[in-house]
């Protein structure tokens, strides 16, 4: 298997096409991106020197609406990765039925090595580079790995300066004061939690409290873990890039998160007000966390962490993919043979783009919803998509990823046919 993430994405599409046939023209449109943009971004550093960073933006498919997708700042960003993520966004939007296509962007940079002022200059420089490539009716960016609401605020401000008008609908995931939506901060983790709750009984997990391990304790992993703990589930392990912590009796995600914000270290803790006390816990590697004997494993970091090399050692009863592309196609086959269900990324982490859609709608209407309304609307959409995917699993007797792709393909195929295909224009038709 190639190291290309895009080839992994194409393999997932190919598997779905074995179960659901689409028009040849639909398939052709899904094999290549609509448009790709590459830019060099010069940034003046704090010491007066100049550095040039590589930036990308891909609009993959706009059959269902303007493209939508996050911007990540990470040293591993490549065009192959951004193109693959834009492809997955196409299916993520389609599977939950929101009127978007798929897009993605990124800059090859280690933001941990930059000051806050340098990150602001980079953010504004990136937006300046892509301003003619995006638009509220064309392509709407959002936060992703190592970007956040503050960075989105800088970007919307830069775009507004360029266009000479305040345009909040150009980007989502913004601060509330700049037109952001309530409920956006925890939306991806919350959507993953809603998907798990909607599917757990059909996945054979029953209605009892579950044991859960979360690989990746950033924004998404934290909110998923915290919601699960609030609803009675036991979070036994969490990890960051440095390693993992484990506690058989369960961790308090809120206290762990609070201590990490204070000390930048991942430790089990009990926090009361501003005082956090370390509690007894074990440490382990990220690799060991993936192989824990738990009810649910939730990979919430980066791509390709579950591969053919470690899939045989996975003991979880189910996997909820909070990250994009954490499971390779070979691992998918192994897990399916072992009877381990994988709630796929294009469903499990679609909460973020769904609430981004809500933010875009609110920006365009100039009317903003209460947080409870956002949560309720998100739950309705995720529950509906989860039921559709589970029904397709009963119909086709294949893995959940393929079923999610089938649900998305139905909508994309209908859009292609609605615009006309060869069948419409052939002689004698």
Q: 147-193 pLDDT, tens per residue?
A: 999 999 999 999 999 999 999 999 999 999 999 999 999 999 999 99
Phi, psi at 157, each rounded to 5°: -65, -40
Phi, psi at 266, each rounded to 5°: -90, 110
**What is the per-residue pLDDT for 270?**
81
**What is the per-residue pLDDT for 423?**
64
pLDDT digits 0-9 by tens, 58-70: 999 999 999 999 9
Residue 298 has pLDDT above 90, yes or no: yes
342 in Cβ contact with 322 (< 8 Å): no
**What is the per-residue pLDDT for 20?**
87
Selected catalytic residue, list 68, 104, 174, 200: 104
**What is the per-residue pLDDT for 206?**
87
b/e per residue, 136-171, with b = 16+ CB within 10 A?
A: beebbbbbbbbbebbbbbbbbbbbbeeeeeebbbbb
pLDDT digits 0-9 by tens, 319-333: 999 998 899 889 999
The better pLDDT of the pair 13, 118 is held by 118
pLDDT band at 28 (very low <50, low <70, confident <90, very high): confident
Residue 279 has pLDDT above 50, yes or no: yes
CA 217/CA 300 separation, integer angstroms: 7
The token duo for 264 is: 């930048």
Residue 429 has pLDDT above 50, yes or no: no
**What is the per-residue pLDDT for 1?**
42
**What is the per-residue pLDDT for 426?**
61
**What is the per-residue pLDDT for 400?**
95
397 in Cβ contact with 7 (< 8 Å): no
Mean of the per-residue pLDDT values of the chain: 93
Q: For residue 111, what is the DSSP state?
A: G
Using the structure block, give the residue that is written with the tokens 């054979």: 204
Nearest Cα to Cα of residue 325 among 352, 351, 307, 309: 307
Helices and strands in the chain: count of H runs, count of E runs: 15, 14
pLDDT band at 428 (very low <50, low <70, confident <90, very high): low
Domains and their CATH numbers in the chain: 33-167 (3.40.50.10860), 187-348 (3.40.50.720)
- Terminal Cα distance for the chain, rounded: 43
pLDDT digits 0-9 by tens, 352-404: 999 999 999 999 999 999 999 999 999 999 999 999 999 999 999 999 999 99
Nearest Cα to Cα of residue 48 among 107, 121, 146, 157: 121
Sorted by sequence, the CB contacts under 8 Å of residue 361 that are 6+ apart come out as none
pLDDT digits 0-9 by tens, 195-211: 999 999 999 998 899 99
- Catalytic (active site) residue 247: no
**What is the per-residue pLDDT for 425?**
62
For the chain, percent of residues with pLDDT exceeding 90: 78
């Amino acid at each position: 298997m190639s190291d290309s993430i895009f080839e992994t994405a194409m393999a997932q599409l190919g598997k779905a096409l074995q179960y659901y046939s689409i028009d040849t023209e639909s398939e052709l449109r899904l094999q290549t991106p609509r448009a790709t943009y590459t830019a060099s971004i010069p940034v003046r550093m704090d010491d007066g020197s100049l550095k040039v960073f590589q930036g990308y933006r891909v609009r993959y498919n706009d059959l269902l609406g303007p493209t939508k997708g996050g911007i990540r700042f990470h040293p591993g960003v490549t065009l192959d990765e951004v193109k693959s993520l834009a492809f997955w966004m196409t299916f993520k939007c389609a599977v939950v039925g929101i009127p978007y296509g798929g897009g993605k962007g990124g800059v090859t940079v280690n933001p941990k090595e930059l000051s806050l002022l340098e990150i602001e200059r980079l953010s504004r420089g990136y937006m300046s580079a892509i301003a003619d490539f995006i638009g509220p009716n064309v392509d709407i960016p959002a936060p992703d790995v190592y970007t956040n609401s503050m960075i989105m605020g800088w970007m919307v401000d830069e775009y507004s300066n360029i266009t000479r008008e305040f345009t909040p609908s150009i980007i989502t995931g913004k601060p509330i004061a700049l037109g952001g939506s309530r409920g956006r901060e925890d939306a991806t983790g919350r959507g993953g939690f809603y998907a798990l709750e909607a599917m757990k009984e059909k996945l054979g997990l029953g209605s009892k409290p579950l044991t859960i391990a979360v690989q990746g304790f950033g924004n998404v992993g934290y909110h998923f873990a915290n919601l699960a703990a609030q609803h009675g589930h036991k979070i036994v392990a969490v990890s960051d890039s440095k390693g993992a912590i484990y506690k058989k009796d369960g961790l308090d995600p809120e206290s762990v998160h609070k201590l990490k914000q204070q000390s930048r270290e991942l430790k089990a803790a009990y926090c009361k007000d501003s005082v956090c006390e370390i509690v007894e816990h074990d440490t382990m590697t990220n690799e060991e966390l993936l192989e824990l004997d738990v009810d649910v494993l939730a990979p919430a970091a980066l791509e390709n962490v579950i591969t053919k090399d470690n899939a045989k050692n996975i003991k979880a009863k189910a996997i909820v993919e909070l990250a994009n592309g954490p499971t390779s196609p070979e691992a998918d086959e192994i897990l399916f043979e072992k009877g381990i269900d994988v709630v796929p990324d294009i469903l499990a982490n679609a909460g973020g783009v769904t609430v981004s859609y809500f933010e875009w709608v609110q920006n365009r209407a100039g009317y903003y919803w209460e947080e409870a309304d956002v949560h309720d609307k998100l739950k309705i959409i995720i529950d509906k998509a989860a039921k559709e995917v589970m029904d397709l699993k009963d119909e086709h007797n294949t893995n959940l990823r393929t079923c999610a792709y089938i649900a998305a393909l139905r909508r994309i195929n209908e859009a292609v046919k609605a615009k006309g295909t060869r069948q419409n224009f052939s002689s004698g038709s």
